[in-house]
Structure 1
Amino acid sequence: MNWLLVVVGAMVGAPLRYLTDRTVQARHDSVFPWGTLAVNVTGCLVLGLLTGAAAAGAADAHLQLLLGTGLCGALTTYSTFSYETLRLGETGAGFYAVANVVASVVAGLGAAFVGVSLAQAVWA
C-alpha cells in the first residue's frame, strides 16, 4: 500500500514539474534555469510544511509518503539542477552557474525554514 501512495504522488509531481519548468522558463529570456529553481524551491517549501505538520502531529506517515516522497520526490530535481549548472559553466556562463548554486541553496533552505515555521504556527 505504501508504494502506491508514492506512485500516486509521483504521478502528480512529475508532470507538474515539467509543466511548471516550461511555463516559468518560457517567461524568461535568459540562460539561467529559472524553471528548475522554481520547482526546487517550491518542493522545499512543501516539504518544510509537511515536516512541520508531521512534527506537530497533523500529518501522518501516509501523507508523508504521498506528498513528501511521491510528490516532492518527482517535483524536485537535483540531477537537472546539477546538469544545468555544469552546462552553464561549460558554455562560459560561469556567473550564472555560481548564481544558480547560491540561489538554489539559499532559497531552498529558506523555503524549507519558512514551511516548517508556518506549519508550527498553524499546528503548534
Structure 2
Amino acid sequence: MTAVAVALGGALGALTRWWVSESLQGGAPDLRFPWGTFTVNLLGALLLGLLYGVLQHVEVSAGARAFMTVGVLGAFTTFSTFSFEAVAMAHGGALARAALYLGTSVLAGVLLAWLGFQAGQSIAAP
C-alpha cells in the first residue's frame, strides 16, 4: 500500500513541478538562469524541512508519510534537472552563472530546509 501512496504522491508532485516550470519559464528551459528548477528545489527543501519538523510531533501512518515526503516532495524537486542545467550553462560558456546557480541552490536549499524544520518544530511542539 505504501508503494501506491508514493506513486500517487509522485504523480501530484511531478505535475506540480511541471506547472511551476511552465508558469515561470513558459515551458522552455531558460539556461540564462533556470528559475523553474531553482524555485521548485528551494520550495521543496523548505516544505520538506517544515514537514519533518511537524512530523517529529505528529503521528501519521507510514503510507501518509511516504506519500508526502518521497512521493509529492520527491517528485516535486529535481536533482537531475538541476545538475543538467548547471552542466549546460558551463558547457555554453557561462561558468560564473553555473557556479552561482550551484552555490545559491545548495546553500539556500540547506538553509531553507533548516528554517522549515525549525518552523515545523515550533508549529507542532506541544
Regarding TM over 0.5, the answer is yes
Unaligned runs of 5+ in 2: none
Unaligned runs of 5+ in 1: none
SS of equivalent residue, structure 1 residue 38: helix
Q: How does 1:1-124 map to 2 (within 5 A)?
A: 1-26=1-26, 31-124=32-125
Q: Aligned in 2, Cα 1:60/1:46: closer, same or farther, shift over 3 Å?
A: farther
Query: Quick one: distance in 2 between partners of 1:59 and 1:53?
Result: 10
Q: Normalising by the residue count of structure 1, what TM-score does the alignment of the two structures yield? A: 0.91
Contact 2:89–2:95 (Cα < 8 Å) also in 1: yes
Counterpart code for 2:8 = V
* Residue correspondences, number: 122
Contact 1:48–1:111 (Cα < 8 Å) also in 2: yes
Residue 63 of structure 1, CA deviation = 2.5
SS of equivalent residue, structure 2 residue 105: helix
Regions of 4+ moved over 3 Å: none
SS of equivalent residue, structure 2 residue 103: helix
Contact 1:50–1:64 (Cα < 8 Å) also in 2: no
Q: Aligned in 2, Cα 1:60/1:115: closer, same or farther, shift over 3 Å?
A: farther
Query: Quick one: distance in 1 between partners of 2:101 and 2:85?
Result: 9
Q: Normalising by the residue count of structure 2, what TM-score does the alignment of the two structures yield? A: 0.90
